[in-house]
Amino acid sequence: MAVASAVRNFMWHNSFRCVVSPRNEWTMTDRSAGMSLLSRIAVIGGAVTCFLGAFELTARVEDLVQYGVPIRSPFNATSELLVRSADGMHGRRSAAFQKWRMNSLGFRGPEVDSAKAPGRLRVITAGASETFGLYEAPGKEWPRQLEDSLRRRLAGSACGRDGVEVWNAAFAGMSLPTIRQDIERRLVRFSPDVIVVYPSPAFYLMAKLPDTARPDSSGTEAVPPIWSPRVWPRVRDQLKTLVPEVLASRLRQRRIDRVKRQAQVEFSAVPADRSDAFVAELQRIGRAIEAVGAVPVLATHGNDFGFGTPRPPSKAQMIAWQRFHPLASGPVLVEFDAVARAGTLALGDSLGWRVADVATAVAASPEPVFADYAHFNDHGAAIAAGVVANEVIAAVGDRCR
């Protein structure tokens, strides 16, 4: 961080030297009287261009120093790390933006060999942004911590001798049907032993039921843009921090109300048909996992409003959650998570599938476990990884003894 700050200060200082010489021989004030309007515009335009160019270069050098992202990388948002191909929707291969790095197979994490070594235990995690990882430090998202836990706990077993690896196939916005599509079209090629699914129930509180992503008929991944500015997302994020929380919540609430009026529908109570659809799709995913020769492990979804030991919800946090699911009231979002948890546990019990009750485990923590309404911080991700590790070890049974 100190190096990045020094680079930023250096570039900021030198951006002004584009229009002011080291010896300060002339300034806009000194010469403005004798300059035509066109000349003034040209000088001002050149100064602005030079400043913005230096600012952009500063952002790119900072990414290089802090994250190792090449200066010429065309990506300036996590959404650009997602691609739609003949397999459906999944991570873009060999793409990187700040701390988020996709390997050459399109999974978040280090490079891996697509061919599984004999005896190796390969676990793939599937889900949306909660699994992909948003706020955790690099390498602290729960799939990475799950790999560490499994390697440590299975060190003296057959699996420990042959190796344990965890691949993160999740991405922000992946609903259950999209996850099933990814399992059937793409993950099947990598011979997973276990697939862990951390679902996001709130997708079932949208106007329409979630569906699979439409594959790209061209059969090729979309080419990324040649260049796009990286400085704009930084400016936008900084401007957001200047908005008082009260005003930000009010603006979000206005957007929520506007969407409700346009949709002319609102979930004022948990819709039974939507919770049934959630469980039914989760069952189809489990069957798809078994069909590719892997063992399913399901997980329950946690949120910052607690389960079993409810905490008074923060109004600002609740509105931030509703912003992405505006048709449901805050209490319905929380209750739907609880209903989905019960349905997931019942499904696992009826079909003999292992279920990691992450929701209960994180709710019991006396320390903060979420960075927002439902995305983990490092500590929360560690708890989730530990609970999932228990069920993965139980699922593989005698193989790793």
Position 73 in a domain:
no
Mean pLDDT of 375-393: 97
**Whether 266 contacts 329, CB under 8 Å:** yes
Same domain, 49 and 165: no
The number of distinct structural domains making up the chain is 2
Kindly state whether residues 47 and 152 are assigned to the same domain. no
Same domain, 178 and 46: no
pLDDT: which is higher, 41 or 19: 41
For the record, the structure tokens of 335 come out as 């209750």
Q: What pLDDT score was predicted for residue 87?
A: 87
Please say whether the beta carbons of 307 and 286 come within 8 A: no
258 inside domain: no
Query: Is the confidence at residue 391, as pLDDT, over 60?
Result: yes
Give per-residue pLDDT as tens, 162-206.
789 999 999 999 999 999 999 999 999 999 999 999 999 999 999
**197 and 308 co-located in one domain:** yes
In a domain, 283, yes or no: yes
Is 74 a domain residue? no
Is residue 121 domain-shared with residue 201, that is, in the same domain? Answer: yes
pLDDT at 140: 97
d(CA 276, CA 23): 74
pLDDT at residue 312 in the model: 61
Q: 141 and 220 share a domain?
A: yes
* pLDDT confidence of residue 266: 79
**Confidence at 28, pLDDT banded by 50, 70, 90:** very low
Q: Do 216 and 328 reside in the same domain of the chain?
A: yes
Higher pLDDT, 257 or 338: 338
User: How far is CA 28 from each of CA 20, 47, 276, rounded to the nearest angstrom?
Assistant: 9, 11, 70
Q: Which of 42-46, 61-65, 251-255 is predicted most confidently?
A: 42-46
Alpha-carbon span 348 to 357, nearest angstrom: 11
Domain containing 54 equals 2-67
User: Does residue 212 share a domain with residue 93?
Assistant: yes
- 148 shares a domain with 19: no
Asked, for residue 198, whether it belongs to a domain, the answer is yes
* Between residues 316 and 338, the one the model is more confident about: 338
Please give the average per-residue pLDDT across 343-362, as a whole number.
97
pTM exceeds 0.85: no
**Same domain as 345, residue 271:** yes
CB 252 within 8 A of CB 259: no
Any idea what the CATH number is for the domain that residue 163 is in?
A: 3.40.50.1110
Which pLDDT score, from 0 to 100, does residue 223 have?
Answer: 62
User: Which of these three, 32, 67, 102, is where a domain ends?
Assistant: 67
Same domain, 48 and 150: no
Could you say which of 33, 67, 101 is where a domain stops?
67
* Alpha-carbon gap, residue 208 to 351, rounded angstroms: 28
Per mean pLDDT, which range of 10-14, 87-91, 274-278 is the poorest?
Answer: 10-14
Both structure tokens of 166: 């965890």
Q: Is 233 part of a structural domain of the chain?
A: no
Q: pLDDT grade, residue 45 (50/70/90)?
A: confident
d(CA 256, CA 248): 12
Would you say residue 76 lies in a domain?
no
pLDDT tens digits along 289-337 = 999 999 999 999 999 987 654 556 577 888 888 888 889 988 899 999 9
Same-domain check for residues 60 and 201: no
Q: So what's the pLDDT on residue 34?
A: 52
- In a domain? residue 243: no
d(CA 378, CA 373): 15
